[in-house]
Structure 1
Amino acid sequence: MGSKLLRGTFILTLGTLISKVLGILYVIPFYAIIGGDKPALLYNFGYVPYQLFLSVATAGIPLAVAKYIAKYNAMEEYAIGRRLFRTGVYLMIASGILCFIAMYALAPILASMQQLEGGYSLEDGIQVIRAVSFALLIIPVMSLLRGFFQGYNSMGPPAVSQVIEQVVRIIFLLGSTFVVMYVLGGNVVTAVSLATFSAFVGALASLLLLLWYYFKRKPGLDRMLTQTRGELHVSIGTLYKQIILSAIPFIIVGSANSLYQLVDQFTLGRVLSYIGVAAEKVNSYVAIINFDVQKLILIPGTLAIAFSMALVPLVTASYVRGEREQVKRQLNDVFQILLFLTIPACFGIALLARPLFTVFFAASETGVDLLQFYAPIAILFSLFSVAAAVLQGIDEQRFTVLGLLLGLLAKTVLQMPLIILWEAKGAILATGIGYAVSCIFMLYIIKKYVHFSFSLIFRRTVLFFFLTAAMAAAVLLAYFGLATFISPDHKLSALLLVIICGVIGAGVYGYLSLKLHLSDKLFGPRGKAFRQRLGIR
């Protein structure tokens, strides 16, 4: 695997993983402060429309800028990339202001379009939506700065900024909600509104850090400008035409999960009520699927996000230079490593669903059942993200749009009949089928346009499933043995179960992988050296 891709992916994975884990861990004290899962419904009520407005505000431009900076840098036309970045800053400021105004003004309509459960009023929903809308003023420019660094294959600043953003957000979120609920004696709506406003505070901290990195590295970036070839002259209009055409698919793909959630937000509760499911059970299903389970199943997707961010600039650079074999090697490596890591991770979540759900939320048979059913579908989330990134890198982004639309169409058509048949699991199954449709379509397009063979990846995937089966056997033996003495329904004992069984599962999967020399094949000389240091032949 290319050292730049491996290093960049590792740095971004670490940053994104820390950010995601923090984004899950804070739920434990947050639930305790605001009083359970019903207030969490109100919290999520504001975040679903916010994610869509955020996708429009950033308009896919940060990743598109990263792609084109990498493209022009590969051509040694550094001045074009810098000009693109400067004008992009103004565009992102304007976009953020306009989207903030639109979301703030449209809050009553957005609130009325959703089904707000838990006894909250329309005014409560409006307040929460408006509180989170302020983040739109900051995040577009912050995201553009991340894209700028990614275009230069500098993954450290984006990774560190993700962690800082999450840490500051969580500190403000927990601190403000605690003060409102226990010091000032305020109400849940005010506390949740401040919790959503924390997105603005975290983004501001991240932006300040990225600006510090930018000015610190500016002398070196300016030296690159003196080495620009200056043979290519591209007008601002042409640049933005390229950016916008590339950005539209980034918008759509970036909002894929929010669009699927939106379908559930609009239909799940209504269809369940229509078929006679009790109101309390409906609230539980909606909260678990749209809030609790989402946070856990997106942990394996962290790797896919990091791969996507590191992959687009590198594949673009190789593709522009005409290095088709290099592109094929990059794709071969990235798909194999992605599946090598996400398959056992997703099934591991399913196997340890009971103690995991207890650790992060509270013991719940319904939650465990839905998490076990949902976890394997996260493999498709990851595959979708990376396939979309590949199509962006080879300038076939139009097919990412078509792929997502086909998947959403499948989800929408199947949603109601599957919910009628299997209640909440029907909505999960519809999501899985939708992502499967998108993945199959996009992988076919990659095969066609890159002339890429998936035969080796398919064979390795079968092997990964066999290794995962061996891991599952070891985890289940350990789990049922320990569950006799350690309860999975209390937080501390459940955490102990997760740690012990997780270590056993990772150990079995890792040992078998090393024994079969998969580390050598996937990670090259570094993998081989690691295996030899462990004394495994």
Structure 2
Amino acid sequence: MQSKLLRGTFILTIGTILSKVLGLIYVIPFFQIVGREGTVLYQYSYVPYTVFISVATAGIPLAVSKFISKYNALEEYAVGRKLFKSGLIIMLATGIVSFLIMYLAAPTLAEMSTSGKKADLEDVTTVMRAVSFALIVVPFMSLIRGFFQGHQSMGPTAVSQVVEQIVRIAFVLLGAYVVLHFLDGSIVTAASVATFAAFIGAIGGLLVLFWYWYKRKPYLDELLKQDKGTMDVSLKEIYKEILLYSAPFVLVGIANPLFQAIDQFTFNRAMGTIGIVSKVADSYFSILNFESHKIVIIPMSLATAFSLTLVPSITKAFVGGDQKSLNRQLNQTFQVLLFLTLPASIGLSLLAEPVYTAFYQHDLIGTEVLRTYAPVAILFSLYSVTAAILQGINEQRFTILSLLVGLLVKLTLNIPLIETMEIKGAILATTLGYTAAILINLIVIKIYSGYPFRLVWRRSLLIAIFVGLMWGGTGIVYKLLLLFLSPESKIQSVIMILISAGAGAAIYFYLGLKSGLARRLFGDRLDKILTKLRPGRRRGVEN
């Protein structure tokens, strides 16, 4: 049973990572097809869509899987099936209502996002309405994924995620290309087709789940025959439990889109007040909220995937009153997070120019924004992980407080800081908002878990020293490469990134190994990797 669970978790993790990688890589050809004008329209529609979809589905698969696995363990299989049948109807209704709200509210959302010019309003409204159709399908699909996960079957979710992403990306790229190069269509039409791809991708993912349902139904019906039938849980109790499970995940999932939404609804107006015309402001908005953000969340993805695995072990130690084990789990969590995300984000900042060129085009403003924005990935990661820890120690109510405070700081400071510092003002407001939210989370963790942060502060200083040495070494290699390679060329930028990042990684992990820090954090897993990398030395020892 344990091996099946581990295998399932591994499959789901691989599926999630693959889906995220695909979701990142496609922006490179997409930008080349539609240009900045297209990405502006795309992003204007996608931020509200992400907020809607996060509220409608975030946490539902996990909540449903937790509920069903709980009652399956009691051999009350009918309770889970009861949730599934009623849930499909409710999620379909939720999806349709969400679609109607976004579709009808599109003109208002467009007016809030743009400077108010009639042509801009019509364009953004059209693109927003195109993406809203996906809301009909995605909530319905999320419930089916949760149902399978509750039966310890992770394959359907993993495969459907990857298929959904592949179908969506194929439709985005092919659709936009065909509209612009074969049908002689406008950028607005191309962007609308690209956002409508979310609906087509969701249909692809749903068809995969239907196929799995068809294959697994005989087995699921057999389980139903073994039902004890001793419990009769009302639908009211079922949904109360589901909402309690899913609420914390909704808050964590919606944090980043809400911060982006504040930028979307305030950025252009703030830029307009300091005399920057709407077309330039739109371009700056795309650089900040789409182009740079897509790259900055790469280090954050490590933390997000990592944080989802934290809750069970931290909860077990906390509920069992095992303070020593809880401290060890939290020490490991914070150290691994900093060990991975700090060098990744600082390295990204250092190599901002070739990275931006490799992804999009050579752009000095884009480079400067990415250089400033990259370190904020550390805060994105810390927020995600501290929120997961709050759930583990059963204090998820404070995630509401910390998120609201963070958003209030962002909302209060965003316009004055943009008016003073332009794009960097929006980044600073995000930094201060996330810092406020993280500080609240850390204080709550300290008070309610009794966790001493002494070791983490010491290790953080050590990691910071290693990152500083890595930054120095990487900087020297990068400066040398600049003597005969240009960051204005895509191919040469890729070469510069590979060599510089490789040198930086080698310096950083050498320091980690020599100091013993890497072995303390990763233990046996690191030894296994090193053994595989050094087969010659292993044979010599055996002889």
Matches within 5 A, 1:381-400: 381-400=380-399
For the residues of structure 2 that align with 1:216 and 1:334, how far apart are their CA atoms? Answer: 39
For the residues of structure 2 that align with 1:453 and 1:31, how far apart are their CA atoms? Answer: 47
Q: In structure 1, what residue type is equivalent to 2:359? A: F
Q: 1:151 to 1:474 in 2, by over 3 A?
A: farther
Q: Which residue number corresponds to residue 19 of structure 1?
A: 19
Q: 1:460 to 1:162 in 2, by over 3 A?
A: farther
**CA-CA distance at 1:303 after TM superposition:** 1.6
Q: 1:143 to 1:303 in 2, by over 3 A?
A: farther
Q: 1:305 to 1:119 in 2, by over 3 A?
A: farther
Deviations 1:74-94 (A, max 9, x none): 777666455444433332111
Contact 1:304 1:386 in 2 (8 A): yes
**CA-CA distance at 1:304 after TM superposition:** 2.3
Q: Which residue number corresponds to residue 97 of structure 2?
A: 98
**CA-CA distance at 1:299 after TM superposition:** 0.9
Matches within 5 A, 1:149-160: 149-151=148-150, 155-160=154-159
For the residues of structure 2 that align with 1:227 and 1:241, how far apart are their CA atoms? Answer: 26
For the residues of structure 1 that align with 2:355 and 2:86, how far apart are their CA atoms? Answer: 46
Deviations 1:249-281 (A, max 9, x none): 433322111111111111122112212335554
For the residues of structure 2 that align with 1:505 and 1:117, how far apart are their CA atoms? Answer: 46
Deviations 1:385-420 (A, max 9, x none): 122223234432211111100101111122233223
**CA-CA distance at 1:479 after TM superposition:** 0.9
Deviations 1:268-321 (A, max 9, x none): 221122123355542332111111111000111112221243344665577677
Deviations 1:24-63 (A, max 9, x none): 32223222222x2022111111112111221232264333
Instruction: Compare 515-524 and 499-508 and name the one that shifted more.
Output: 515-524
For the residues of structure 2 that align with 1:140 and 1:249, how far apart are their CA atoms? Answer: 17
Q: In structure 1, what residue type is equivalent to 2:19? A: S
Q: Which residue number corresponds to residue 123 of structure 2?
A: 124
Contact 1:9 1:310 in 2 (8 A): no
Q: 1:484 to 1:49 in 2, by over 3 A?
A: same
**CA-CA distance at 1:173 after TM superposition:** 0.9
Matches within 5 A, 1:195-344: 195-216=194-215, 234-312=233-311, 329-344=328-343
Q: Which residue number corresponds to residue 380 of structure 1?
A: 379
**CA-CA distance at 1:376 after TM superposition:** 0.7
**CA-CA distance at 1:160 after TM superposition:** 3.5
Contact 1:134 1:197 in 2 (8 A): yes
For the residues of structure 2 that align with 1:42 and 1:51, how far apart are their CA atoms? Answer: 15
Instruction: Compare 427-436 and 269-278 and name the one that shifted more.
Output: 269-278
Q: 1:479 to 1:332 in 2, by over 3 A?
A: same
Contact 1:164 1:202 in 2 (8 A): yes
Instruction: Compare 86-95 and 217-226 and name the one that shifted more.
Output: 217-226
Contact 2:61 2:149 in 1 (8 A): no
For the residues of structure 2 that align with 1:132 and 1:338, how far apart are their CA atoms? Answer: 34
Aligned length: 535
Q: 1:107 to 1:368 in 2, by over 3 A?
A: same
Q: Which residue number corresponds to residue 434 of structure 1?
A: 433
Deviations 1:199-249 (A, max 9, x none): 111122222223444554566666777888877664331221122234334
For the residues of structure 2 that align with 1:75 and 1:391, how far apart are their CA atoms? Answer: 28
**CA-CA distance at 1:423 after TM superposition:** 1.8
Instruction: Compare 240-249 and 191-200 and name the one that shifted more.
Output: 240-249
When the two structures are superposed, what TM-score results if normalisation uses the length of structure 2?
0.88
Q: Tell me the secondary structure at the aligned position of residue 121 of structure 1.
A: helix
For the residues of structure 2 that align with 1:525 and 1:98, how far apart are their CA atoms? Answer: 50
Contact 2:318 2:449 in 1 (8 A): no
For the residues of structure 2 that align with 1:80 and 1:102, how far apart are their CA atoms? Answer: 32
**CA-CA distance at 1:70 after TM superposition:** 5.4
Contact 2:67 2:150 in 1 (8 A): yes
Contact 1:70 1:313 in 2 (8 A): no
Q: Which residue number corresponds to residue 489 of structure 1?
A: 488
For the residues of structure 1 that align with 2:469 and 2:284, how far apart are their CA atoms? Answer: 32
Q: In structure 1, what residue type is equivalent to 2:275? A: G
1:359 equivalenced with 2:358 (yes/no): yes
For the residues of structure 2 that align with 1:501 and 1:315, how far apart are their CA atoms? Answer: 38
Q: Which residue number corresponds to residue 541 of structure 2?
A: none
When the two structures are superposed, what TM-score results if normalisation uses the length of structure 1?
0.89
Deviations 1:457-490 (A, max 9, x none): 3333222222222221221111111121111111
1:51 equivalenced with 2:50 (yes/no): yes
Q: 1:476 to 1:122 in 2, by over 3 A?
A: same
For the residues of structure 2 that align with 1:4 and 1:464, how far apart are their CA atoms? Answer: 36
Contact 2:113 2:266 in 1 (8 A): no
For the residues of structure 1 that align with 2:509 and 2:144, how far apart are their CA atoms? Answer: 37
5+ unaligned residues in a row in structure 2: which ranges? 539-543
Q: Which residue number corresponds to residue 28 of structure 1?
A: 28
Q: 1:9 to 1:477 in 2, by over 3 A?
A: farther
* Greater RCO, 1 or 2 (C-alpha within 8 Å, sep 6+): 1
Q: Which residue number corresponds to residue 418 of structure 2?
A: 419
1:466 equivalenced with 2:465 (yes/no): yes
For the residues of structure 2 that align with 1:28 and 1:265, how far apart are their CA atoms? Answer: 22
Instruction: Compare 283-292 and 321-330 and name the one that shifted more.
Output: 321-330
Q: In structure 1, what residue type is equivalent to 2:132? A: S
Q: Which residue number corresponds to residue 402 of structure 1?
A: 401
Contact 1:318 1:324 in 2 (8 A): yes
For the residues of structure 1 that align with 2:485 and 2:5, how far apart are their CA atoms? Answer: 42
**CA-CA distance at 1:128 after TM superposition:** 0.8
Deviations 1:169-210 (A, max 9, x none): 111111111111111111111111110000111122222223
For the residues of structure 2 that align with 1:299 and 1:15, how far apart are their CA atoms? Answer: 16
Q: Tell me the secondary structure at the aligned position of residue 451 of structure 2.
A: coil
Contact 2:115 2:268 in 1 (8 A): no
| Aligned sequence identity (%) | 51
Q: Tell me the secondary structure at the aligned position of residue 385 of structure 2.
A: helix
For the residues of structure 1 that align with 2:335 and 2:162, how far apart are their CA atoms? Answer: 27
Of structures 1 and 2, the larger Rg is shown by 2
